[in-house]
Structure 1
């Protein structure tokens, strides 16, 4: 009797266990397939970028300094205004220079009179020589006097030109088209030629330059091709990020790289150019740029939300095959690219990666799919 009860208990336990494991299977087989959102992956070439810090630099800068000395009598511009090259900015008291110009002009007239007299004298001496009245020496002396008078006239004319230049420089003009800052000198100030302190500074800010720095080690690494960075076919436009974190609406391009490494910091300076029609970028402003570094070819861009990690820490993604069955793929991720991962291995062109509904399914399950367009297709 006792053995019969033991046998009955064992049989009952076996039946319960069978029912326990069979019910979920039956329930799973009885449920309809869940719907997941997928995105079709396409192989493509991706331009790698790096974020570099930099400063905005004016594309042209000129310090306004006087070229003659005197008292400033007038300021002819509004501070912060845009000026064209050659536009008057300041006026220096011209009285002294007007007097010098008048004296130089009188000296020219005097020299012209002497040359005229010497020329006539040389002609008379030549006529007397033809009549054998004077000697050859008299003729030579007259010609020498005429030539000396002509040279004196040239000197006087050069002095007149210098006086006119100095008089013209009493009106200080803009050496560059650009935006003026504040005036550093006021009416009544005494200025001197070539003084150290400028009167004002003009900056051309459309376009502007952005000087960024990159470590020499990074330059060596990508020049050796460790990141497959043959730039042929790469997108060479540069994206600018402002100090508030927003992106600048205009893209730029690389102008040049300084062929020199700073001994103290070990960096190389790269110069970029950006259009600045709204004058949003100002010299000295701190910015960051996304600069092209190279190209990786035949890779896939996978949304980061579609990639998870297994127990070994390997990146994985769920893929829906042609039979609408879920498969798990182990991926080789190179780096991030915006909101995507750059995947070099683990996916093929045309694979449908699950990007939403991951928690509702598992490898081996049958699913229904909703396709979402890639960013390129949406554009």
Structure 2
């Protein structure tokens, strides 16, 4: 009993001693007059230069932010385009504030978000973010169903599709603003809903890099269950690709008809000289009974065929033959691609030349 009483007395003495200065842990204690730093603000979203793309003219956004102070936060204010939209002064963790604030009614155009944080000593900091809600894209050509401008992101603008991204593609200067810059084992994968029709056209700009000496450009093909690691099932869909032809790069198109396949190889007429470093405009059309390949608005291959079969074509690859056309080594291009458009119609030569004229001026 005496031993237990002595232990109790020692324990109480420790507790009383630790509380005499008004705090328990002298490592965590910070005197109020030692507040030397203004709060630190991090805005995770939107970030500087963010472009918000939605199909609506007015939308909501979630403003994601963090504020940290060395002593204690007193107030955090959010201001959008000069008007305060929210303020906070109750902080369960008085040194760290996390918030995802839903702002309603964001309209088209440029916006300025200002986050100001003030601590208990009156020190304050402000973080300013300029971002944009872009106007919804309206197709500018008849029967346009897919538009990928590559202007700093990989979002398709008509359906607002974000692709699965393989590898690490990049951006470079393009025909119009930015362009897709290919990289080893890099490409984009889109779903194909709304893209498969008996009449089909695709157009884009391409700057050839001949290393590697062959590559896929645009592929909508079926799976290959017998060769899952090197797919090459050509019974349906299409495969647009390039490969070496005596130092030139030859553009070729293969189309699956269900019962077989049709080839559109224009020979030397479909060659691009990679040494020039110039942009070329590539287009191809697929109709119920004929397909045509164009380079810079001129026909390089054209022939009749029984029409395309779309069985199993649930994936569009941009910038590579992978994963559905990999068996012959037509993998990622290292060239540049810009202004990719797909149509559910057969474009005429005049329409293709009109697109070239509009985008090159």
Q: TM-score range by the shorter chain?
A: under 0.3
Larger fraction in strand: 2
* Structure-2-length-normalised TM-score: 0.23
The structure whose RCO (Cα within 8 Å, separation 6+) is larger is 1
Larger fraction in helix: 1
